[in-house]
């Protein structure tokens, strides 16, 4: 079966950096997420949308990193959102209370429009 994998690519849309996540976020792969976010956080203006369309799974390790990012981004007057979460990932975000803190949108387009 092998280790869980997480691949992250980056695009830009409507003034937002879009981080496209492909795979699983758990305690093993969460450093990959942290590294990708840290690169974006060095920039002057920080608006990030996380594209979850190809994210299969997230655990509290990932949510912890997203929360730390959210606090940093808010501190720098930036915006952050999540788009395209599947049913089970969306449930995890809700049950772990994170949906109270960050906007979760069906698509990247809607996230860009509303944030």
Partner 1 sequence: MIIPGRLEELSEVRSKIQLFTTGFFDEITVNRIVLSVDEAVSNIIRHGYGGTCGDITLELKRDPQSISITLTDNAPPFNPLSVESPDPETHFDDGKSGGLGIDFFRRMMNAHYERTSSGENRLILSKEIPHENK
Asked if 59 and 39 count as a contact pair (C-beta separation under 8 A), the reply is no
Read off φ and ψ for residue 35, nearest 5 degrees: -60, -45
Select from 4, 32, 40, 41 the one that contacts partner 1 (CB under 8 A).
Answer: 4
Question: Which residues within the stretch 22-41 sit at the binding site for partner 1 (CB under 8 A)?
Answer: 24, 26-28
101 binds partner 1 (CB under 8 A): yes
Question: Which residues within the stretch 44-83 sit at the binding site for partner 1 (CB under 8 A)?
Answer: 57, 59-61, 63-65, 67-68, 70-71
Q: Considering only 14-22, 41-49, 77-85, 92-100, which stretch makes contact with partner 1 by CB under 8 A?
A: 92-100
Residue of 14, 9, 74, 22 lying closest to 52 (CA atoms)? 22
Residue with smaller CB distance to partner 1, 3 or 12: 3
- Burial classification of residue 97, based on how many CB atoms lie within 10 Å of its CB (0-12 exposed, 13-18 middle, 19 or more buried): exposed
Residue of 70, 81, 98 lying closest to 16 (CA atoms)? 81
| Positions in the binding site for partner 1 (CB under 8 A) | 1-4, 24, 26-28, 57, 59-61, 63-65, 67-68, 70-71, 87-88, 91-92, 95-98, 100-101
């Amino acid at each position: 079966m092998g280790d869980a994998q997480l691949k992250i690519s980056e695009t830009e849309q409507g003034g937002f950096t879009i981080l496209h996540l492909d795979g699983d976020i758990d305690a093993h792969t969460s450093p990959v997420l942290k590294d990708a976010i840290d690169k974006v956080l060095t920039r002057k203006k920080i608006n990030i949308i996380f594209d979850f369309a190809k994210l299969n799974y997230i655990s509290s390790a990932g949510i912890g990193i997203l929360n730390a990012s959210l606090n940093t981004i808010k501190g720098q007057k930036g915006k952050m959102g999540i788009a395209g979460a599947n049913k089970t990932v969306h449930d995890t975000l809700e049950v772990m209370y994170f949906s109270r803190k960050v906007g979760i949108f069906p698509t990247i387009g809607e996230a860009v429009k509303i944030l």
